Structure 1
């Protein structure tokens, strides 16, 4: 079977697709990827060893009507190009993960009778996926609450796929990489690939209190643009730097997550899936300006399930924030309860569940391109 995956714009669309690709390849299927020429997928997909095909696609700015004209023209042109590519690849099914590029790819599939499956990572469905859900054979979602936005009779809750490098990394390997003692309590702080200034400021405000905990080690991923400012604000001595590691970016998140006991982070879909797959107790601080405040909805699902605590962004740096951090660090029973709740979500099985749906869609649809 040949499968085309499509998505673009952010790593949040790409990493779940790559996790699905790993499972499909293990099952003996051939996987291709369609993305944009300059998006993050143009780097991540070839790194993963998948054949990559680029198509132009653009969004629409309602305040600039001309962008609608150019956006529609790009989609129409890319749809024609995708149809010609399909004649060469002869796919059995197309899976869209969001981002504007998935629209022409899925439209080309629909026009040729090739089954389309859509996967939504967030609790609030994105515009491209809303559009494609009207044409999809099946819509797969991470959160049951997002199913209402899908204009498709077949909706399946699969969870958000996580790559093997995250699931299979060991605590021992992670701690060896970071130089963290086996008996230390490790706090991991990060705000996504770009960092989060408010989280950085909130944790820096606890500098003296955290350093006073002799058994605590902190790994703090600031975001590339925040590293210098955070380093200056902390003003760590060489000895303290051994206990409070600063880095702008970490490309080995699998090992880093595996080493952690407690996490403070934003509530993006990929971060939550990885935290859940590793069953790590977390304090989540949703980004308040995310589309339709979807990070708050994402986080609330994990809080309601008992997997995490949540703190509003505007309360970072307050005594309430410090109390929540202390609670996670001090209460071993709470951490154990959160880890058990996270394991019950079975996030680590999401890629396999999604692969089952994709294979079934292909079987029902058949190979339409002969």
Structure 2
């Protein structure tokens, strides 16, 4: 079969698509990708052997009403181009992962009678997926709570959020060797996403003496490129302290880093949570408070409710509650074991295969 994948705007839309692509290709299917010419998807898909076709798409700024006209014209033009493209390759199904570019690609598929599947990574559906969900044969969700945004509940399938095989195949030994962390040490990983998180950084830096007071604790702290210098100044690490507080601006080998860690403090973005869950990492989640519809808090709640994580609001980072939860996470092996078991029961590692099954079933029912 020939399957078109489409998504753009953030890596959170692209990585699940690439994870699905791995499964589909392993099953002998042919995969294509449709994205914007200059978006992150062009760069990420460009690192693979998946054929990439660009289409123009853009959102609109409510404070600039005229952008509704320009964005609509771009999308209309791209619908026509996508239909012409699809007539030439004759796909069996199209899968949209969100982002503005999926609107013209998904609409073209719907108008041509090609089965459309939508996958939503977050607990609150994005605008593109809400729009395309009305036209889709199936709406695949990471979280059941997102079904409230789907008019026809019969379309809903909870698959989980796909994680790439490279993330699942990395080993603890590889990660520890890369980071120079002893095998018998306890490792705490702190990060706030690709750009960092100022409040998390400041709070964790304030606890330096407390954390390094534990002889066997190593802290791997990914500060973000824009906040690395500020964190370095706040920490003022001695050479000896720097051996156990590993401060870095950015990490492009997250698979090995996550595989190496025993526990984590992080935001609650969809991709981060999927990877944390798939690798069964005990976590203290600090949702980004300004995410659309506060979806990171809703994301995190499902992990807390099943026992896979702690959560604290960003506004409460400076409280004793944060310190107490962090101490529990790093000091109590039973807490970590319980969280890891709860994460295992979520079976996130099966999400790629689950979604592939939904896509193939939709294609076969055409």
Q: TM class by shorter-chain length?
A: over 0.9
Q: Distance in 1 between matches of 2:266 and 2:48?
A: 26
Q: Does 2:115 correspond to 1:80?
A: no
Q: Does 2:46 correspond to 1:41?
A: no
Q: Does 2:207 correspond to 1:206?
A: yes
**Aligned runs of 1:1-370 on 2, under 5 Å?**
1-152=1-152, 153-365=154-366
Q: Distance in 1 between matches of 2:197 and 2:127?
A: 25
Deviation for aligned residue 1:251: 1.0
Q: Distance in 1 between matches of 2:18 and 2:178?
A: 24
Deviation for aligned residue 1:150: 1.4
- 298-307 or 56-65, larger mean C-alpha shift: 56-65
- Whether the aligned pair in 2 keeps the contact of 1:203 and 1:317 (CA below 8 Å) is no
Deviation for aligned residue 1:317: 2.6
- Whether the aligned pair in 2 keeps the contact of 1:76 and 1:104 (CA below 8 Å) is yes
* Paired residue secondary structure (2:365): helix
Q: Which residue of structure 2 aligns with residue 368 of structure 1?
A: none
Q: Distance in 2 between matches of 1:60 and 1:203?
A: 37
Q: Give the paired residue count.
A: 365
Deviation for aligned residue 1:232: 1.0
Deviation for aligned residue 1:315: 1.2
Q: Which runs of 4+ in 1 moved over 4 A?
A: none
Q: CA RMSD in A?
A: 0.8
- Whether the aligned pair in 2 keeps the contact of 1:130 and 1:151 (CA below 8 Å) is no
- 262-271 or 171-180, larger mean C-alpha shift: 171-180
Q: Distance in 1 between matches of 2:25 and 2:180?
A: 34
* Paired residue secondary structure (1:201): helix
* Paired residue secondary structure (2:123): coil
- 242-251 or 253-262, larger mean C-alpha shift: 242-251
Q: Distance in 2 between matches of 1:24 and 1:167?
A: 17
| Residue-by-residue CA offset, 1:1-48 (whole Å, 9 max, x unaligned) | 111100000011001001000111111111111111111111101112
Q: Distance in 1 between matches of 2:221 and 2:307?
A: 25
Deviation for aligned residue 1:212: 1.2
- Whether the aligned pair in 2 keeps the contact of 1:283 and 1:309 (CA below 8 Å) is yes
Q: Distance in 1 between matches of 2:54 and 2:347?
A: 34
Deviation for aligned residue 1:50: 1.3
- 331-340 or 172-181, larger mean C-alpha shift: 172-181
Q: Distance in 2 between matches of 1:350 and 1:48?
A: 21
* Paired residue secondary structure (1:192): coil
Deviation for aligned residue 1:61: 1.8
- Whether the aligned pair in 2 keeps the contact of 1:201 and 1:317 (CA below 8 Å) is no
Deviation for aligned residue 1:211: 1.1
| Residue-by-residue CA offset, 1:66-94 (whole Å, 9 max, x unaligned) | 11111110100011111111122221100
* Paired residue secondary structure (1:59): coil
Q: Distance in 2 between matches of 1:317 and 1:186?
A: 22
* Paired residue secondary structure (1:286): coil
* Paired residue secondary structure (1:9): coil
Q: Distance in 2 between matches of 1:346 and 1:215?
A: 31
Q: Distance in 2 between matches of 1:80 and 1:151?
A: 27
